[in-house]
């Protein structure tokens, strides 16, 4: 009898632990995915890898992509859903910087976040290198309308 009760209690505890673990938030640091934060290396692939892992994690608590303090250069990236649960991009103290060469952009956006519900952006500086765009297009020398490539963060 005592042994039977012990087995039931153990199974019940394991089931509760599995439910708690499944709904628990996950934090993915982009540095664990290869980001350097040195301002020279393209850290975009590491950001996208961390995003995919966090997006694929389900649960009621938000999954977090952690971008620690530092300077992160990134070319055009797409962070897309739908995600299996809420997701946060936490970049407090971090600066994401676009490359200054406009020729490196093969899309009309720099950072595109699409098809994502329950998204939170916490902190961060997003430097699209606008001063380089204006200097390279001669728009400041003309009274006529000039076209510049779109370099932006789209949500």
Asked if residue 86 lies in contact with residue 65, where contact means CB atoms within 8 angstroms, the answer is: no
pTM over 0.85: no
- Reported as type and span, the H/E element at residue 5 is helix 2-23
Instruction: Tell me if 50 sits within 8 A of 73, measured CB to CB.
Output: no
Instruction: Write down the pLDDT at residue 128.
Output: 85
Segment 41-59, tens digit of pLDDT: 999 999 999 999 999 997 7
Cα–Cα distance for residue pair 148/133, rounded to 1 Å: 7
Q: Tens digit of pLDDT for each residue in 95-154? A: 999 988 777 777 778 899 999 999 999 999 999 887 776 666 656 665 555 555 555 676
CATH of range 25-154; options 2.160.20.10, 2.40.10.340, 3.30.200.20, 3.30.420.40: 2.160.20.10
Alpha-carbon span 101 to 75, nearest angstrom: 10
Q: What are the residue boundaries of the structural domains of the chain, listed by start?
A: 25-154
């Amino acid at each position: 009898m005592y042994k039977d009760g012990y087995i039931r209690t153990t199974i019940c505890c394991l089931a509760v632990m599995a439910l708690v673990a499944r709904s628990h938030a996950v934090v993915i640091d982009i540095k664990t995915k290869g980001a350097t934060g040195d301002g020279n290396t393209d850290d975009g692939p590491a950001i996208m890898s961390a995003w995919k892992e966090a997006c694929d994690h389900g649960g009621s608590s938000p999954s977090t992509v952690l971008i620690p303090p530092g300077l992160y250069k990134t070319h055009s990236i797409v962070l897309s859903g739908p995600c299996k649960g809420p997701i946060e991009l936490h970049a407090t103290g971090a600066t994401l910087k676009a490359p200054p060469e406009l020729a490196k952009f093969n899309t009309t956006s720099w950072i595109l976040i699409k098809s994502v519900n329950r998204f939170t952006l916490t902190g961060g500086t997003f430097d699209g290198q606008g001063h380089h765009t204006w200097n390279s297009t001669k728009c400041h020398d003309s009274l006529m309308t000039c076209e510049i490539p779109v370099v932006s963060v789209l949500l």
